């Protein structure tokens, strides 16, 4: 494309998107066909000359601020609940994308765990400033969805983003295998960077078969042991109790991923969860210092309000 073509593309885009002219008007004024106008507008979007951002209004910022003050969180963002879990997940994902764009700054080191919601949020996040993105957990493929390796590869395609993958499953067969995986140079390097994060994005799951991606992956004996030890929620394969304290079981030794202590040392941790069942886990994550910024749906917020009366 010549300089004249580039200039025309910018001028046509300005006419259409900023001045509100129709394609027919632009074609007439500039002496070109409306098909040329359409082609130039398409090129402008494909090349990043024109970027369109759709930002849905937040459901109730004041409500989130009140709940954050009661809970002791830095920030709580509330999305509307959908008609089904998939619709709710998408609404929370959009809200998470907005929060991520707000807090990921130039030169930041960002840790990203995996969940269906985090995966969905990346579709809405748009271009990021130059930053490093660290995979916080090994891969745990879920039927009908992706995994953390696929997610980190999505970030790797973004201009100006360097990635640090963890080439391992999240859960391995035994503690010795997990320790060996953590010693692999590439994996060790990625996990070590979790000591120096500026922002982390994680998901909180209620400790049950239907609301945790990890729970169905372990034996009934391990499930029972974790529950009896006080686990109510999990984050990146790490279990914690109602006060946000780590729950140590044999599962902990088999996880290849970030620790709760590393998250607690991160300046800002954005944690997502939806549905009323996850409310105790979200509250515990704040109380235990695991997360300070929460993104949730209306149902989770309502349940959290009942747990933390004014």
**For position 68, which CATH number holds?**
3.40.50.1360
- Give a yes or no: residue 301 inside a domain: yes
Quick one: 41 and 114 in the same domain? no
**For position 40, which CATH number holds?**
1.10.10
Quick one: 252 and 278 in the same domain? yes
- Give a yes or no: residue 124 inside a domain: yes
For 202-261, write each residue's pLDDT tens digit: 999 999 988 888 899 899 999 999 999 999 999 999 999 999 999 999 999 999 999 999
Query: The whole model's pTM is what?
Result: 0.80
- Give a yes or no: residue 237 inside a domain: yes
Quick one: 20 and 76 in the same domain? no
The whole-angstrom separation of Cα 262 and Cα 200 is 10
Quick one: 177 and 245 in the same domain? yes
Residue 90, both tokens: 């998408």
Asked if residue 125 lies in contact with residue 97, where contact means CB atoms within 8 angstroms, the answer is yes
Domain count, the chain: 2
Quick one: 303 and 222 in the same domain? yes
Determine the pLDDT at residue 74. Answer: 96
Quick one: 13 and 69 in the same domain? no
- Give a yes or no: residue 56 inside a domain: no
For 110-142, write each residue's pLDDT tens digit: 999 988 899 999 888 888 999 999 999 998 876
- Give a yes or no: residue 54 inside a domain: no
For 67-118, write each residue's pLDDT tens digit: 999 999 999 999 999 889 899 999 999 999 999 999 999 999 999 998 889 9
Q: Is 126 exposed, middle or buried (0-12, 13-18, 19+ CB in 10 A)?
A: middle
Quick one: 13 and 154 in the same domain? no
As a whole number, mean pLDDT of residues 158-182 equals 93
Q: Does 279 score more than 60 pLDDT? A: yes
DSSP string, 209-267: TTT-SSGGGS-HHHHHHHHHTT--EEETTEEE-TTS-B---HHHHHB-B--HHHHHTSS
- Give a yes or no: residue 53 inside a domain: no
Quick one: 141 and 36 in the same domain? no
Q: Which residue has the higher pLDDT, 300 or 150?
A: 300
As a whole number, mean pLDDT of residues 284-306 equals 97
Quick one: 26 and 121 in the same domain? no
Quick one: 156 and 237 in the same domain? yes
- Give a yes or no: residue 239 inside a domain: yes
Quick one: 29 and 142 in the same domain? no
Q: Does 152 score more than 60 pLDDT? A: yes
As a whole number, mean pLDDT of residues 275-283 equals 96
Quick one: 170 and 299 in the same domain? yes
Per the structure, the complete domain to which residue 37 belongs is given by 3-46
Residue 94, both tokens: 């959009």
């Amino acid at each position: 494309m010549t300089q004249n073509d580039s200039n025309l593309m910018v001028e046509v885009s300005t006419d259409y998107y900023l001045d509100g002219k129709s394609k027919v008007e632009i074609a007439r004024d500039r002496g070109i066909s409306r098909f040329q106008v359409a082609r130039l507008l398409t090129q402008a979007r494909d090349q990043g000359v024109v970027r369109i951002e759709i930002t849905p209004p937040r459901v109730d910022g004041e409500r989130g601020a009140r709940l954050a003050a009661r809970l002791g969180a830095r920030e709580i963002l509330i999305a509307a609940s959908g008609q089904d879990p998939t619709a709710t997940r998408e609404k929370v994902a959009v809200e998470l994308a907005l929060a991520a764009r707000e807090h990921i700054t130039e030169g930041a080191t960002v840790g990203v765990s995996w969940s269906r919601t985090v995966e969905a949020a990346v579709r809405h996040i748009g271009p990021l400033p130059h930053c490093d993105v660290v995979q916080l957990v090994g891969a745990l493929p879920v039927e009908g969805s992706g995994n953390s390796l696929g997610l980190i590869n999505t970030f790797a395609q973004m201009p100006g983003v360097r990635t640090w993958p963890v080439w391992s499953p999240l859960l391995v067969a035994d503690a010795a295998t997990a320790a060996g995986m953590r010693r692999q140079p590439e994996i060790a390097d990625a996990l070590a960077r979790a000591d120096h994060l500026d922002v982390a994005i994680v998901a909180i799951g209620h400790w049950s078969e239907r609301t945790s991606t990890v729970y169905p992956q372990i034996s009934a004996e391990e499930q029972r042991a974790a529950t009896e030890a006080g686990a109510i929620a999990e984050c990146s394969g790490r279990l914690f109790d109602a006060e946000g304290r780590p729950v140590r079981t044999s599962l902990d030794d088999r996880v290849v991923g970030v620790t709760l202590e590393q998250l607690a040392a991160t300046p800002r941790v954005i944690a997502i969860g939806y549905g009323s069942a996850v409310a105790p886990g979200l509250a515990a994550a704040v109380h235990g210092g695991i997360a300070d910024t929460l993104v949730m749906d209306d149902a989770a917020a309502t349940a959290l309000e009942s747990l933390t009366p004014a």
